[in-house]
């Protein structure tokens, strides 16, 4: 198996395949340090934690992850509690994606799997033959890797998706007219559970990594630059958007990371073309409202790893034949949920006064209807595989 991309999708797939005796080679463009420097979301569904455990990388999640029974959705001082545990019997685990990736690299090292960093000019060929080929160069030297299958785990800007001919591919996209400015700070979290805040000033999120490491976000125009956001400006903007009690009690401090990410929903179908299978961000992007990005990548890996093991070890093709439809069915539901959460909680620039009333009504409905809260909780904790 050739795996293009050594992010969470590629690493987890490689880990599960190698444990089942299927050999893989990961081809990654960046250095390991660069991959591990990216700060991403930090909420794991229970299905994600279970698959990490099955892959032999569950120990640190178990030890250092923070189990959360619920979260808050707020509108100025209205706070709606979504009690996942009471509504669904399940929890989520707060544990940074960077930590997951670190654990996967260590586990891959321990197994001695092959990860080649610094590859350039990746080209995938012979996808309709019984043996496929990945050509690439490293330190200016051209190389060729023959393989049975190729997993495209190379993120939104990778080459795998574009290998599928335009006439075969269908793409769906919604670009939102705002981004998230994220700040990491060595301060205690503002609240013991996450707060997703709608306000007349725009959206904010209070999240965390541990008891002395907070992660916050505020909605900003896509044209904003990080340099325009001093720590003071960030904290005062955040405080205006959170419920007043929380804002008053919140501890602020110097930021240790600050970045702006655009928000988009994107999906490309099908996920399979010949011997190529797309996984994770290579095939779909969701806005971070609801923290579905990593969890969706993991459910793709869940479907694909068993299908590939069946194809390679037992020469049974039903699993790989069904991969695209099976994974897409779950992907579209998570696309819907993250789009709905984004629409319900963000201020759109050109919106009329009606839009703000609709957002308030959505939160008031959640406050008064257990059925509505259960529907949200069921999606947030992760739909079944
Ligand atoms: N050749 C080799 N490697 C590549 C290429 C290429 N042409 N293009 C991209 N890559 C590598 C990137 O450097 C990156 O390390 O592929 C990897 C893709 O990793 P991610 O973008 O993290 O995507 P994925 O592994 O699918 O992770 C799922 O969940 O929370 C979300 O977006 C978040 O990254 C997260 C995702
Ligand atoms: C985060 O902690 O980075 C985070 C949490 C929840 C989200 C998005 C990001 O929905």
The total of other beta-carbon atoms located within 10 Å of residue 228's CB is 11
204 lines ligand 2 (CB under 6 A): no
Residue in 217, 277, 280, 293 to alter for ligand 1 test, most ligand atoms within 8 A of Cβ: 280
Question: In the structure encoding, which two tokens stand for residue 239, read together?
Answer: 């405080």
DSSP 3-state helix, strand, coil percentages of the chain (rounded to 5)? Answer: 40, 30, 30
Atom of ligand 2 nearest to the CA of 208: 2
Where do the CATH 3.30.9.10 domains begin and end in the chain? Answer: 176-262+347-381
The total of other beta-carbon atoms located within 10 Å of residue 83's CB is 15
DSSP designation for 281? G
DSSP E strands: which ranges in 199-251? 204-210, 213-220
Instruction: List residues with catalytic annotation.
Output: 68, 196, 288, 292, 380
Q: How far apart are CA 229 and CA 1, in angstroms?
A: 45
Atom of ligand 2 nearest to the CA of 341: 10
**CA of residue 43 to ligand 1 center, whole Å:** 18
Please check whether residue 286 is in contact with residue 293, taking contact to mean a CB–CB distance below 8 angstroms.
yes
Please check whether residue 229 is in contact with residue 217, taking contact to mean a CB–CB distance below 8 angstroms.
no
pLDDT of 216 = 98
Tell me: the pLDDT tens digits for 288-339? 999 999 999 999 999 999 999 999 999 999 999 999 999 999 999 999 999 9
160 lines ligand 1 (CB under 6 A): no
90 lines ligand 1 (CB under 6 A): no
Where do the CATH 3.50.50.60 domains begin and end in the chain? Answer: 2-66+96-173+264-344
pLDDT of 350 = 86
pLDDT of 26 = 98
290 lines ligand 2 (CB under 6 A): yes
pLDDT of 39 = 79
**CA of residue 224 to ligand 2 center, whole Å:** 20
Answering whether pTM is above 0.95, one says yes
158 lines ligand 1 (CB under 6 A): yes
Question: Which contacts of 205-210 are long-range, i.e. CB under 8 A and separated by 24 or more positions?
Answer: 205/180, 205/289, 206/238, 206/242, 206/246, 206/250, 207/42, 207/43, 207/94, 208/42, 208/66, 208/94, 209/42, 209/94, 209/96, 209/184, 210/64, 210/66
Token pair 């060595």 is found at 186
pLDDT of 117 = 97
71 lines ligand 1 (CB under 6 A): no
The DSSP bridge pattern shows strands 43-44 and 78-83 to be unpaired
| CA 157 to each of CA 29, 257, 336: distance values in angstroms, whole numbers, following the listed order | 11, 23, 23
Atom of ligand 1 nearest to the CA of 5: 16
**CA of residue 41 to ligand 1 center, whole Å:** 14
Q: How far apart are CA 376 and CA 87, in angstroms?
A: 10
> HSE of 20 in the Cβ direction (CA atoms, 13 Å)?
20
**CA of residue 348 to ligand 2 center, whole Å:** 20
pLDDT of 23 = 97
pLDDT of 37 = 87
61 lines ligand 1 (CB under 6 A): no
- Residue 99 pairs in a beta bridge with none
Could you please state the CATH topology (level 3) that the domain comprising 176-262+347-381 is classified under. Answer: D-Amino Acid Oxidase; Chain A, domain 2 (3.30.9)
3 lines ligand 1 (CB under 6 A): no
289 lines ligand 2 (CB under 6 A): yes
| Options 1.10.730.10, 3.40.50.10490, 3.90.600.10, 3.50.50.60; CATH of 2-66+96-173+264-344 | 3.50.50.60
**CA of residue 205 to ligand 2 center, whole Å:** 8
Q: How far apart are CA 106 and CA 362, in angstroms?
A: 44
Name residues of the chain where pLDDT drops below 70.
Answer: none
Please check whether residue 64 is in contact with residue 93, taking contact to mean a CB–CB distance below 8 angstroms.
no
Q: Which ligand is nearest to the CA of 5?
A: 1
Tell the residue nearest (CA) to atom 7 of ligand 2: 291
DSSP E strands: which ranges in the chain? 2-4, 25-28, 43-44, 66-68, 70-75, 78-83, 92-94, 114-117, 120-125, 132-138, 141-147, 150-152, 170-185, 195-198, 204-210, 213-220, 255-269, 272-273, 276-278, 284-285
Atom of ligand 1 nearest to the CA of 288: 30
Token pair 């996920």 is found at 271
**CA of residue 136 to ligand 2 center, whole Å:** 35
**CA of residue 357 to ligand 2 center, whole Å:** 25
Identify the CA nearest to 168 among candidates 266, 265, 268. 268
Tell the residue nearest (CA) to atom 3 of ligand 2: 41
Q: How far apart are CA 39 and CA 229, in angstroms?
A: 18
Q: How far apart are CA 29 and CA 236, in angstroms?
A: 39
Q: Is 219 exposed, middle or buried (0-12, 13-18, 19+ CB in 10 A)?
A: buried
Atom of ligand 1 nearest to the CA of 294: 29
pLDDT of 62 = 94
43 lines ligand 2 (CB under 6 A): yes
- Rounded to 5°, angle at Cα 40 from 38 and 42: 140
């Amino acid at each position: 198996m050739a795996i293009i991309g050594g992010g969470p999708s590629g690493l987890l797939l490689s880990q599960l395949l190698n444990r089942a005796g299927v050999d893989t080679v990961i081809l990654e463009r960046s250095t390991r340090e660069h991959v591990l420097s990216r700060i991403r979301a930090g909420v794991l569904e229970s299905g994600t934690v279970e698959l990490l455990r099955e892959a032999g990388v569950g120990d640190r999640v178990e030890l250092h992850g923070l189990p959360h029974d619920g979260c808050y959705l707020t509108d100025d001082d209205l706070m709606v509690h979504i009690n996942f545990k009471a509504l669904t019997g399940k929890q989520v685990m707060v544990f940074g994606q960077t930590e997951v990736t670190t654990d996967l690299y260590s586990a891959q090292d321990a197994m001695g799997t092959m990860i080649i960093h610094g590859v350039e000019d990746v080209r995938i060929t012979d996808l309709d033959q019984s043996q496929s080929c990945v050509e690439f160069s490293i330190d200016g030297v051209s190389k060729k890797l023959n393989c049975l299958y190729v997993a495209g785990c190379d993120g939104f800007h990778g080459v795998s998706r574009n290998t599928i001919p335009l006439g075969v591919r269908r793409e769906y996209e919604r670009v939102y007219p705002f981004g998230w400015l994220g700040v990491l700070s060595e301060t205690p979290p503002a609240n013991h559970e996450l707060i997703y805040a709608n306000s007349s000033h725009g959206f904010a999120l209070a999240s965390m990594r541990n008891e002395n490491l907070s992660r916050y976000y505020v909605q900003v125009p896509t044209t904003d630059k990080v340099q325009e956001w001093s720590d003071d400006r960030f904290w005062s903007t955040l405080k205006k958007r959170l419920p007043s009690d929380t804002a008053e009690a919140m501890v602020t401090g110097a930021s240790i990371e600050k970045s702006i990410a655009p928000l988009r929903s994107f999906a490309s179908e099908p996920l399979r073309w010949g011997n190529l299978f797309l996984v994770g961000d290579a095939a779909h992007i969701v806005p971070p409202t609801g923290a579905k990005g990593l969890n969706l990548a993991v459910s793709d890996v869940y479907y694909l790893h068993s299908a590939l093991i069946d194809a390679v070890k037992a020469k049974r093709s039903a699993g790989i034949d069904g991969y695209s439809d099976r994974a897409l069915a779950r992907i579209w539901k998570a696309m819907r949920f993250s789009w709905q959460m984004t629409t319900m909680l963000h201020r759109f620039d050109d919106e009329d006064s009606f839009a703000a009333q609709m957002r308030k009504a959505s939160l008031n409905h959640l406050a008064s209807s257990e059925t509505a809260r259960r529907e949200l909780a069921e999606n947030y904790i992760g739909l079944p595989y």
